Structure 1
Amino acid sequence: MSARSRDRAGDGPPIAGLSTRDRAIDHELALLSGSLRFLLDVTPVNVEQARSEYLSSGELPEFAYRELEDDPEVLKQALQDIPIHLVEDTVLGTLLRTKHRELSLQIDMLAARDTEDFMPLSIELYGAITPGLRGSAEQILETVTDTESTSAGSLDARAFLARAQAEIGHYREQDPDIEVHAEIRDDVSGVMVSGDSLLIGPRSKVQKVRAEALLHHEVGTHLVTHVNGSIQPIKVLGSGLAGYDETQEGLAVLAEVASGGLTAFRLRQLASRVVTVHRMVTGATFTDAHEALVAEGVPASSAFTTTMRAFRAGGLTKDAVYLRGMLDLLDHLRHGGTLDALLLGKFSLKDLPLVSDLQARGVLEPARLTPRWLVDEDASARLGRAAALDDPREFVSA
């Protein structure tokens, strides 16, 4: 039965402080949100081939993308049919309406994939790069010049998959019923989370010095918050409320800080992403952006990855949120905030007061999983030192 039919039949008894109708509308929105493969659908499937051809010939890469599983027009109609205006709870209504608008924007982006219309929509979704953020990124690139040695070697896809499965096993000790998994996927480049899955490209190489931090980033943050959000009466907390990406990525980078794994190379990578997005938005070509990174000391292959991530699908500006999210969360800690509530699901720091209201009213369940990086005996000290620093360049040694 649809939420609209339930409206005609009556609200039903309150459940967890919310009416049945409100919960049904949330469920419909969460189902639609969870059906989107947004990041997968805007990421090329031929990254390694394009990298090889570009680095050998210098010719602009031609990226290929997955076929969309659903017609954006059908998705748009399905979204319009969800009766957000009928939500009675003021706080939930605010959260669901902003998510509804975000989904509409993402569907428009899928329809505009690999066209000139894509990047303006991306800027609307992820926000513009402020002078302050760009200044922090440029300062990092200018002054953090000593990066770690790669002599310790790297893990291939199968070795990292084994580490990831072992990490998921640690969380199954907290709750054996969690539904998350890791796999190697031929159509993926690098390492990424989509829904309840950690996806690893078959040609991925993870530096051993970075492996533990990457596990805390992907499994200990993205998968943990997916599990915690999925058990909530408000199901959109599992797929993510509007604007959750920035805080999620900021949390994931803080997981690297807390575990002592934010290396100089990684900090430069986050800064490189910001300046590359800025260069793209202000008119740089793919070649311009790639050459600028190489001139700043970024290895050509790594520079290709950063440039590809920015230029994919017509200009995806998401990569600017990693550094911005980390800096905003450190400011949150600096002013007495904590991270615990942010692990109840996927939502933005600006929505924390609304989520805290629901928590105080008994609407939300306690978190099912606690990140291992948060309970590490040295984690609080590392995060405290990082929050006390004014200069992002010092985070590596925090």
Structure 2
Amino acid sequence: MKQEINTVNKILLNIDTHLHKLVKKIELLTYVNPINIESEKERFFASKYLSEPDFIYPNIDFDKFKLHKELFSLPIEKIEDDRIKSLYQDIIYFYSGLIQSIETIGTGKKFYYNSLHSFGTPTEKDVENAKFILHFDENLEAEHFKPKHSVLQTETFFKDYSKRYDFKYHITHSDRMGAIAMVLNNQQTLVLNSNHMFSDNEIGVLTNHEIGVHMVTTMNALLHPLKIFSHGFPNNVETQEGLSVFSEYMSGNLTIKRLKELAYRVLAVNCLAKGNSFSKTFRMLHSTYDLNKNDAFYITTRVHRGGGFTKDYLYLTGLSKIYSLYKKGTSLDVLLTGKVSIEYKSDIEYLQEKGLAVKPKYITDSFAENNNKNKTIDFILDNLK
């Protein structure tokens, strides 16, 4: 009986390994970030916010058609466990959607529809939550919001913060990104925006967000026999970003300003979903909601890059779901096992029972104690619909 189980697992591991070889280059953020953001920002501002940016994207360095063909040729029918077979079917369709998204970057509507398929779009409830958050004010002149740290100084803060975790990763800088920091999962690399001057609050937010969750789940994922934990389960973006913003909250770094940023993203995605242009989305943020022009431009860029990238609304919905689990006393540890999603929590536990997954070695440091002291933040999170 033991030999039979080993044989069954060997078949699964072979399929999983082959799948890993096929999809290891599928990192959507690597391809969807424009390489000429700053020059297009200058041109857009010079046009009095009327011209549409002409973004340029990195070249795709894999054969898209061949990858699709090989992906659907994987013999998952040989997986005898129906529950695991169903999981791998979901994952293959998910990866196929990401490939379609990558191959249509910069094509306008084609990319937008693929983005919709992979990430969805805000509901009326999501938009109402965003508008609710915008009713609250914060002193934006506070010292911890002032930009004062260069990218090199900020790198030092990240290295110091990371001493609490027993893992190594790479740090690089880029002047070609819309975000101010991001983790490249497949490369175990943190990328910092060299064009940005970082505030104390941003460093607190980003260390707990990017390292405390994104790098933690990257490193935990490497410990499993199955590599699907590294490449990601379906719908993992909402869960992973929800955990990351929740880490900001638990560490005491989540502010009304930051929540408003997430709310603006929801409204920007909603504006995109209604068929509005880049310039109209920008003017909605800048004129209707009085967001400063630089922040409005970068949020609009995040949402319109590629032709319409809807994932940014998931930060707020993900936070709401994770906060709800926390209030119920539910352990979040299983969600730190890799790039996983709430919807597959029981499947992860099933894989752990089968010896095909392990419990997380690294636990987000901030989750051990609630250091949020802002009662207004608690009120907002408690009243999200």
One-letter amino acid of the counterpart of residue 86, structure 2:
T
Say if 1:184 and 1:124 are closer, same or farther in 2 by CA, change over 3 A. Answer: same
Distance of 1:32 and 1:130 partners within structure 2:
34
1:44 aligns with 2:34: yes
Task: After TM superposition, give the deviation of residue 193 of structure 1 in Å.
Answer: 1.0
Distance of 2:384 and 2:206 partners within structure 1:
20
Instruction: Give ranges in structure 2 of 5+ residues lacking alignment.
Output: none
Task: After TM superposition, give the deviation of residue 12 of structure 1 in Å.
Answer: 7.0
Distance of 1:73 and 1:123 partners within structure 2:
21
Residue 172 of structure 2 corresponds to: 183
Correspondence list, 1:61-100, <5 A: 61-100=53-92
Distance of 2:332 and 2:371 partners within structure 1:
12
Residue 162 of structure 2 corresponds to: 168
1:19 aligns with 2:9: yes
Say if 1:34 and 1:264 are closer, same or farther in 2 by CA, change over 3 A. Answer: same
**For 1:269, which of 235, 254, 261 is the aligned residue?**
261
Distance of 2:18 and 2:374 partners within structure 1:
41
**For 1:320, which of 305, 313, 319 is the aligned residue?**
313
Correspondence list, 1:136-215, <5 A: 136-141=129-134, 143-149=135-141, 151-152=143-144, 153-154=146-147, 155-172=149-166, 178-189=167-178, 190-195=180-185, 196-215=188-207
Distance of 1:147 and 1:104 partners within structure 2:
45
Deviation sequence 1:216-252 (CA, Å, 0-9, x none): 1001100100110111112111121111111000000
Task: After TM superposition, give the deviation of residue 81 of structure 1 in Å.
Answer: 2.6
Residue 118 of structure 2 corresponds to: 125
Task: After TM superposition, give the deviation of residue 210 of structure 1 in Å.
Answer: 2.3
Correspondence list, 1:347-358, <5 A: 347-358=340-351
Residue 371 of structure 1 corresponds to: 364
Task: After TM superposition, give the deviation of residue 147 of structure 1 in Å.
Answer: 4.5
Say if 1:242 and 1:131 are closer, same or farther in 2 by CA, change over 3 A. Answer: same
Residue identity over aligned pairs, in percent, reads: 26
Correspondence list, 1:238-387, <5 A: 238-295=230-287, 296-375=289-368, 377-379=369-371, 386=378
Distance of 1:381 and 1:162 partners within structure 2:
27
Distance of 1:255 and 1:23 partners within structure 2:
33
Distance of 1:150 and 1:302 partners within structure 2:
18
Contact 1:258–1:380, Cα closer than 8 Å, also in 2:
yes
Contact 1:95–1:242, Cα closer than 8 Å, also in 2:
no
Residue 93 of structure 2 corresponds to: 101
Contact 2:170–2:190, Cα closer than 8 Å, also in 1:
yes
Deviation sequence 1:116-154 (CA, Å, 0-9, x none): 21111111111231111111012212x023343254432
Alignment length (residue pairs):
374
1:182 is paired with a residue whose SS is strand
Say if 1:235 and 1:381 are closer, same or farther in 2 by CA, change over 3 A. Answer: farther
Deviation sequence 1:287-306 (CA, Å, 0-9, x none): 11111111202111000011
Q: Which sits farther off after the overlay, 191-200 or 363-372?
A: 363-372
Contact 1:12–1:21, Cα closer than 8 Å, also in 2:
no
One-letter amino acid of the counterpart of residue 171, structure 1:
Y
One-letter amino acid of the counterpart of residue 269, structure 2:
V
Contact 1:54–1:61, Cα closer than 8 Å, also in 2:
yes
Contact 2:248–2:254, Cα closer than 8 Å, also in 1:
yes
One-letter amino acid of the counterpart of residue 294, structure 1:
H
Distance of 1:87 and 1:179 partners within structure 2:
35
Distance of 1:171 and 1:45 partners within structure 2:
32
Distance of 2:86 and 2:157 partners within structure 1:
40
Task: After TM superposition, give the deviation of residue 346 of structure 1 in Å.
Answer: 1.3
